[in-house]
Amino acid sequence: MALKRDLYQKLLSWRDSPDRKPLIVKGARQVGKTWLINEFGKNEFESFITLNCDKDLRVRELFDHGFQTERILSDIEILTGQKIIPGKTLIFIDEVGDAPKALASLKYFCEDAPQYHIIVAGSLLGLAIHKGVSFPVGKVDEMILYPLSFAEFVRARLGETAFRRLIGDSLESLSSLQTTLTDSLREYYFTGGMPEVVQGLIDGKDHTALRNIQKQILSDYSLDISKHANPQILGRIHQVWNSIPQQLAKSNRKFVYGDIQKGARAKDFELAIEWLIDAGIVYKVSRVRKAGIPLKFYEDFTAFKLFLVDHGLMGAQVDAPASEILLNRNVFEEYKGTFTEQYVFCQLICSSESEIFYYDSDATKLELDFLMQAGNFLVPIEVKAEENLRSKSLRQFTMDYPNAKAIRLSMSDYRKQDWLTNIPLYAAIRVPSLFLDPAL
């Protein structure tokens, strides 16, 4: 059974938009960009042309002789033996990071040939931008594909009905699915959202085979780093990458340079961190010391947390035993320092365009796992995995900031209090739609 991805609907909207521009689909390696666009091209267009800049030197050479769109289109027809028909043909240029001039050409397709449907994709697109090639600012549409969310995982594992209930039913009614969704969440803690791993689970592969797939993805990431990174910072990139699970396991999950290497300072590892962020395999969540509107005004660039692209890969990275995750009834408590917050972050980032921060005040000693903004409202989020649901920092924050919509994510059922809404962890994907709409 093929996995369904939520981004497919956005691709359909892009196809039919009268203001459509060439589209860039970004995302980390192996999140399923190529598969998704291939499915979209084959299902939704009369003809589909796919070009791979990594595998075919001739494709890269198409863009070496200027940006005349008529010539490029003619050369594509000659190379592929396929006729390009405006409105009926999708042109897909994959691994565009290996052909920066192909990326630059999108500006001219937008200006001179907007009638054509063109999509490009690349796992290291952010790095390609830094190689002296002008990015077509304002001339492209952009979408990001993340690993499968828990909702997408539920659709693959339990079917469309369970998926529709999770994303659409009232939070109160989800209590009838609590056992089923909790069991699925335990599986999702192990598999994560990388499509090949999830597909392996659906196909009946055992957990040793699934862990081997995860290990292979990690190995591919390591090879990618070695292939593309500047040799001068290569070792430091690996050091940062390998340190993230241990950094998140601390009670204070702020990233500390000295935990990588004794005496290390920001200037030693800043470029390495930015490289991993550009590659799409690490995300930075900055601290805000003051919870003012807009939050961006109060961002503290010197303090931040780093999260991996996928919590399943983090489990493989630290060799978390499958039996502990899949059979331990207290798994959500045992892994509260790493998996739970990492899991919640993954749900927030794939379902909301709002920037994510965390709150840590030296003056008040209050700490909040995440803090987001919805119009004139603040949305403080506390992640709880254990049975102790006391939320002293969250309570004090709402007293200090009356415009806050406080959310606690835990394994308890949904309940709404006068100052707090408790959301079950399995429904974390609902937070953006319910609480981050400025109109609410």
Q: What is the mean pLDDT of residues 157-167?
A: 95
Q: What is the mean pLDDT of residues 376-392?
A: 81
Q: What is the pLDDT of residue 387?
A: 57
DSSP per position, 259-270 = GTSTT--HHHHH
- Listed in sequence order, the residues at least 6 apart from 208 whose beta carbon sits closer than 8 Å to its beta carbon are 322
Question: How many C-beta atoms lie closer than 10 Å to residue 104's C-beta?
Answer: 17
Nearest to 132 by CA among 169, 176, 167, 101: 101
DSSP 440: -
pLDDT for residue 305 is more than 50: yes
Lookup: tokens for 320: 């978390």
Class of domain 7-144 (CATH, top level): alpha beta
Q: In 3-state terms, the chain is what percent helix, strand and coil (to 5)?
A: 50, 15, 35
- Listed in sequence order, the residues at least 6 apart from 162 whose beta carbon sits closer than 8 Å to its beta carbon are 154, 155, 177, 180, 181
Q: What is the pLDDT of residues 172-220, one digit of tens each?
A: 999 999 999 999 999 999 999 999 999 999 999 999 999 999 999 999 9
Q: What is the pLDDT of residue 113?
A: 96
Q: What is the pLDDT of residues 220-231, one digit of tens each?
A: 999 888 888 889
Q: What is the pLDDT of residue 159?
A: 95
Question: How many C-beta atoms lie closer than 10 Å to residue 10's C-beta?
Answer: 15
Would strands 141-144 and 117-122 be described as parallel, antiparallel, or unpaired? unpaired
Q: What is the pLDDT of residues 244-287, one digit of tens each?
A: 988 888 777 889 888 898 888 889 899 999 999 988 999 999 99
Nearest to 51 by CA among 30, 66, 37, 65: 37
Neighbour-count burial of 399, counting CB atoms closer than 10 A to its CB (0-12 exposed, 13-18 middle, 19+ buried): exposed
Q: Is 93 helix (H, G, I), strand (E, B) or coil?
A: strand
In percent, how much of the chain has pLDDT > 90?
66
Q: Where are the domains of the chain?
A: 7-144, 150-435
Q: What is the pLDDT of residues 408-418, one digit of tens each?
A: 999 889 999 88
**pLDDT grade for 325, boundaries at 50, 70 and 90:** confident
Contact 137, 24 (CB under 8 A): no
Q: What is the pLDDT of residue 330?
A: 64
CA angle 126, 194, 150 (to 5 degrees): 110
What type of residue sits at position 396?
Q
Q: Is 380 helix (H, G, I), strand (E, B) or coil?
A: strand
pLDDT for residue 134 is more than 80: no
Lookup: tokens for 379: 């949305």
CA trace torsion 307, 193, 312, 247 (10° rounding): 0
CA–CA separation, 433 vs 348, rounded Å? 10
Q: What is the mean pLDDT of residues 37-43?
A: 97
Question: Beta-strand (E) ranges in 155-308?
Answer: 282-288, 299-308
In percent, how much of the chain has pLDDT > 70?
92
Length of the chain equals 440
Instruction: Give the burial string for 48-80 (b: 16+ CB within 10 Å, else e).
Output: bbbbbbeebeebbebbeeebebeebbebbeeee
Q: What is the pLDDT of residue 336?
A: 56
User: Sign of the CA dihedral 324, 329, 334, 337?
Assistant: positive
Lookup: tokens for 36: 């998704």
Q: What is the pLDDT of residue 440?
A: 46
Element (H, E) at 360: strand 357-360
